[in-house]
């Protein structure tokens, strides 16, 4: 049996946990700003290489920037060496 004082302490701890978790979370606006900044940085550096090798020739592929509406979500990739094209699934 918990006393009212113990119950209050439990509730306060739970409220503190919720506030601590909220402090770690991002807002939608901040999230979008951060992602946009990464996209723009990458775009202006023309560094669209994606760290994946071409199945045909072994050269590093790059993202074309064109997404697809399929499931799972994906982006079109191209090989600058042999011009092979494909779809790269995006991580969930
Ligand atoms: Zn290739």
Q: Residue ranges of the domains in the chain?
A: 1-47, 49-92
Q: What is the pLDDT of residue 45?
A: 65
From ligand 1's centre to the CA of 92, what distance in Å? 26
Residue owning tokens 């020739």: 57
- For residues 65 and 24, the model is more confident at 24
Q: Are 39 and 26 in contact (CB under 8 A)?
A: no
From ligand 1's centre to the CA of 36, what distance in Å? 29
- For residues 46 and 54, the model is more confident at 54
Residue owning tokens 């064109």: 66
Residue owning tokens 């060496």: 81
Of 82, 75, 74, 83, which is closest to residue 48 (Cα–Cα)? 75
From ligand 1's centre to the CA of 67, what distance in Å? 20
pTM of the model: 0.52
From ligand 1's centre to the CA of 85, what distance in Å? 8
Predicted confidence band at 9 (pLDDT cuts at 50, 70, 90)?
Answer: very high
For the segment 79-88, the average pLDDT, to the nearest whole number, is 94
């Amino acid at each position: 049996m918990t006393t009212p004082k113990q119950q209050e302490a439990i509730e306060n701890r739970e409220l503190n946990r919720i506030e601590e978790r909220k402090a770690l979370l991002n807002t939608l606006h901040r999230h979008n700003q951060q992602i946009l900044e990464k996209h723009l940085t990458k775009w202006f550096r023309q560094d669209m290489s994606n760290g994946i090798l071409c199945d045909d020739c072994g050269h590093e592929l790059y993202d074309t920037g064109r997404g697809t509406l399929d499931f799972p979500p994906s982006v079109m990739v191209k090989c600058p060496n042999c011009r092979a094209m494909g779809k790269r699934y995006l991580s969930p």
